[in-house]
Structure 1
């Protein structure tokens, strides 16, 4: 009972941290769009922001997550509590991250050129380089955060690791807010940016990531952890890279190659259209429901799948996969449909202060991306099922399929007019997710000796049907609020922002209520399973007051 309560408490702490961080991430991105609008300067910032993340994931992230991190839990069982091993691991990580950072900083101009199209204006390239020189040191702190966080997790101190990104977002938001207060917004021309402006924007990023990592030293110190630099890494197990690590790293390389193609296509748009910042903003909105719904559902199922796989209990794994697919369909399909109905209202309400044209453009990119959201969830379920069997080779080939389809369609987006190229790339992502999900489920079905997909397919179809009346009524109410009533309301852009908020709040409320009503009438049990605990808490009913059979 104590273990169960501890697990529930830790899960709740981590989920709360993730929720707050993602909400602040939306605020952060809204401020970024407010500063840059849809412009070449915005794409320059987006390229520079991409570089430290990509370098860390490609050169250090794969090694940390696939090779080094699993060793920490093993080391904790040593007589010294793993202190000698962890000291050596930290020393190796710090040296490696330091070398990577030192090498990549002077290579910034080359990296910017790799991630931007040949037609990207010279002024945009130069601004991206200036941003990236200041942002690139974040690579070191991304790695430090990953290492220290895993040490904390191994010591069962989960809260700090999940809440540290909140501090990063707060620092970043303060920096962005200060920038707007000092220099204004809608600065689309790279020539407008002076060295102090560049330092404030990029410096906020680096300082935020640094504090996100360094704050983890506090709980480690309080917990009695003391670090001593130790060299000499032979014979301590650090060289035993497993097959799982190799295939995981290979899949990561494939995904980053696709990211380079994506970035080059998005920076090929004509001056004034902007593709990279618009796409990144839409992707942030796309990942929010995935992180809050799909990841939380699958994380809970992954432990069960792993135990069943370890015990060679294939029927139990099949049951978990079928159950996971059903819940993802019942919860993510309404998000997709609701997003398609309210997409432009959502982006206009969130990205307050931008032009209506920019807000609408962001909405169209988001809507195109959302078409693939349920498939992305199904792909995630199947991927984790393979990992439950410690099979990382199959997910590698699935990543080849996903990235391959995206690269082909992404390159074809060059044929689309510049104004809609970002929408085309978002559509390419949706199609690649759909194709990869179909193949992933088919391969998993073969691995498990069959899957009863009838129940999952029925849930997906019934969930989609349940959204139709909700979508129709929502469109009939929300669209007039935004387009007919909006122009007569007070506020910027002729009241369109206030109209969009009304459309989002009223229309969103109607959509959720009607979908819940329809799903109950259609007896979609997965909806009740997901929303039941939340609704009972809102009504003040204790989870323990009722027996769940």
Structure 2
């Protein structure tokens, strides 16, 4: 698979991902505008994150990695897979409904688990709000599972577009709800938020997930699969037995995320106790994380999704050398976007967040920018690690990659607790960004070493040199604009919003054009491939309009 072919194969997925990420990002901006960045926002974000954590921890990872491939194989059964699909959906749905019920009953204990310092004296109001949000958000677990199962059935039948558009519908629903709340009451705080507003925000967020799942029901019907309730686990034994190492992998990932939530909310409570009003905690971390994920999600995930089927075929054919070439090619292509993005986020993080996060104080928005700059240090390693993990998947090795994620999470967790113990509370969230970056940079060497088991030595020189030239091109193009912004104090003065937008456009457009020119001069071949890919996409759109 050549570079241009890989770009084209990932093009449709990239467009869907771009729209989903843009609407999701705008949704996150509105949430900050309504709830701020302090404890009220943390109460909502902890509650809204919990369904995803519990779903992935107990079912989601295994469902995607193990059960769905079994589902695809069942299409060759005598009944076309209808019985297996119905039994799988029925069984998993029952498990998820039970999980929702247990979660709602024990919601106070879940909040204490994820945000233990919410339960300290003097924060009873914050704790009760977090519990209420949690109970309204937990039903998302059931609909997340339904969406995953229906979506993968649709994919297996060759229908990809609905799976891309469904999350966009989810984001639009939540955007409308948050916009309405912001319009009716500009300022909401822990003290003045009403029970009705808590219900509206909680149930409204869950409604988005409900719609996201239900959109796929007619799609599955159209695909020819007839789903009906069938109880029992006959034929599912192999699926459950294969899920073991995948569940361990997900468990480690989610426990690591639990520690991040724990440390971030602890820092927020301690800051509040010290009278610090600038938002410090889980919300600034997630707000910065959303921005960091944009280049990663749009490019890396799209390329990796297109690459995996080809890698699997090569692994089955025992064409190890070609597997290595494809992995390196994917890393090089991802680097064209992730390397300049990481440098831009590092240098201009606070300038970006001042413009993007409206409705909050400049101190709060700048703080998110500082966290973003810290996270950006790990963006490239994070993306490369994802590509290499797909190498393990191609060889159907779910066991070895557990070692990699375990080491990454141990490093991140240790650093997180060290920063909580040693840094001032207002700097802990920035420390979490550093912990993320360091863990993936060190973890990358572990992943490369472990992958030798299947591919032999992976020559880092084949992408390290290209990445070095990308960093050089980024520095040459962007540092002058950083010095310009620093000299005129653009990142610290209280300029009007329109002036802030104009400054950001000058910096980003100038840096972007400069990067492309320097990268072309340095003869980075992937720049040309990406240019041809963009031209081909524009050509297809113009042809479609002409028709």
Label 1:536 to 1:94 Cα distance change in 2 as closer, same or farther (>3 A): closer
1:434 equivalent in alignment to 2:432: no
1:458 equivalent in alignment to 2:465: yes
Deviation at 1:530, TM superposition (A): 2.5
1:281 equivalent in alignment to 2:291: no
Instruction: For residue 42 of structure 1, give the secondary structure of its aligned residue in structure 2.
Output: helix
Give me the whole-angstrom Cα distance separating, in 2, the residues matched to 1:338 and 1:432. 21
Q: Specify the alignment match of 2:412 in structure 1.
A: 406
The aligned runs of 1:150-161 (5 Å cut-off) are: 150-161=152-163
Structure 1 window deviating more from structure 2 (519-528 vs 160-169): it is 519-528
Give me the whole-angstrom Cα distance separating, in 2, the residues matched to 1:209 and 1:241. 26
1:472-492, CA deviations, whole angstroms, 9 ceiling, x for partnerless residues? 2221344467629x96xxxxx
What's the TM-score, normalizing by structure 2? 0.92
Aligned alpha-carbon RMSD (Å): 2.3
1:174 equivalent in alignment to 2:172: no
Q: Specify the alignment match of 2:151 in structure 1.
A: 149
8 Å Cα contact 1:346/1:363 also seen in 2: yes
Label 1:463 to 1:457 Cα distance change in 2 as closer, same or farther (>3 A): same
Structure 1: where are the runs of 5+ without partners? 488-492, 544-549
Label 1:539 to 1:312 Cα distance change in 2 as closer, same or farther (>3 A): closer
1:129-179, CA deviations, whole angstroms, 9 ceiling, x for partnerless residues? 111111111111111111111111111111111110011000000010111
Give me the whole-angstrom Cα distance separating, in 1, the residues matched to 2:489 and 2:140. 41
Q: Specify the alignment match of 1:102 in structure 2.
A: 101
Instruction: For residue 92 of structure 2, give the secondary structure of its aligned residue in structure 1.
Output: helix
1:379 equivalent in alignment to 2:385: yes
Give me the whole-angstrom Cα distance separating, in 1, the residues matched to 2:541 and 2:259. 51
1:198-247, CA deviations, whole angstroms, 9 ceiling, x for partnerless residues? 0111111110000100111122233444322112322x24444354x211
Deviation at 1:451, TM superposition (A): 2.3
Label 1:209 to 1:539 Cα distance change in 2 as closer, same or farther (>3 A): closer
8 Å Cα contact 1:481/1:499 also seen in 2: no
Instruction: For residue 490 of structure 2, give the secondary structure of its aligned residue in structure 1.
Output: helix
Give me the whole-angstrom Cα distance separating, in 2, the residues matched to 1:264 and 1:533. 43
1:318 equivalent in alignment to 2:324: yes
1:310-351, CA deviations, whole angstroms, 9 ceiling, x for partnerless residues? 100111011112212222333211101111121111111111
8 Å Cα contact 2:473/2:519 also seen in 1: yes
Label 1:309 to 1:334 Cα distance change in 2 as closer, same or farther (>3 A): same
8 Å Cα contact 1:42/1:277 also seen in 2: yes
Give me the whole-angstrom Cα distance separating, in 2, the residues matched to 1:540 and 1:63. 38
1:348-381, CA deviations, whole angstroms, 9 ceiling, x for partnerless residues? 1111222100110000001100100000011111
Q: Specify the alignment match of 2:217 in structure 1.
A: 217
Structure with the larger RCO, 1 or 2 (CA within 8 Å, 6+ apart): 2
Give me the whole-angstrom Cα distance separating, in 2, the residues matched to 1:532 and 1:165. 29
Deviation at 1:542, TM superposition (A): 9.6
Q: Specify the alignment match of 1:483 in structure 2.
A: 490
Count, aligned residues: 528
Q: Specify the alignment match of 1:529 in structure 2.
A: 529
What's the TM-score, normalizing by structure 1? 0.91
Deviation at 1:299, TM superposition (A): 2.2
Q: Specify the alignment match of 2:394 in structure 1.
A: 388
1:279-305, CA deviations, whole angstroms, 9 ceiling, x for partnerless residues? 111111111111101112222222222
8 Å Cα contact 2:282/2:429 also seen in 1: yes
Aligned residue among 346, 351, 371 for 2:352: 346
Label 1:134 to 1:479 Cα distance change in 2 as closer, same or farther (>3 A): same
Give me the whole-angstrom Cα distance separating, in 2, the residues matched to 1:479 and 1:357. 17
Q: Specify the alignment match of 2:19 in structure 1.
A: 20
Q: Specify the alignment match of 2:49 in structure 1.
A: 50
Deviation at 1:537, TM superposition (A): 4.9
8 Å Cα contact 1:76/1:154 also seen in 2: no
Give me the whole-angstrom Cα distance separating, in 2, the residues matched to 1:8 and 1:440. 25
1:292 equivalent in alignment to 2:290: no
Deviation at 1:61, TM superposition (A): 0.7
Q: Specify the alignment match of 1:259 in structure 2.
A: 257
8 Å Cα contact 2:7/2:533 also seen in 1: no
